[in-house]
Amino acid sequence: MTATGRGYLAAGEDKIEILFTNRALAQAETQLGKTVLQIVSDASGDNLGIGDVTRLLLVGMQAARHDKKERGTPPSMKDAFSVMDQGGFAEVRRVVLEARAAVRSYDPNQNTEE
Question: Which tens digit of pLDDT belongs to each residue from 34-87?
Answer: 998 898 888 888 888 999 999 999 999 999 999 999 998 999 999 999 999 999
- Residue 98: inside a domain, yes or no? yes
pTM for this entry: 0.88
Lowest mean pLDDT of 30-34, 42-46, 100-104, 107-111, name the range.
107-111
User: What pLDDT was estimated at residue 60?
Assistant: 96
* pLDDT at residue 108, rounded to an integer: 82
State the residue range of the domain holding 24: 15-104
69, part of any domain: yes
Q: Distance of CA 91 to CAs 1, 11, 68, 107, Å?
A: 27, 11, 24, 26
The answer to whether residue 109 is domain-embedded is no
Query: Domain count of the chain?
Result: 1
Residue 23 lies in a domain: yes
Predicted confidence (pLDDT) per residue in 86-97, tens digit = 999 999 999 999
d(CA 21, CA 72): 22
Contact 18, 57 (CB under 8 A): yes
Q: Which residues contact 27 (CB under 8 A, 6 or more apart)?
A: 59, 62, 63
> Is 59 part of any domain?
yes
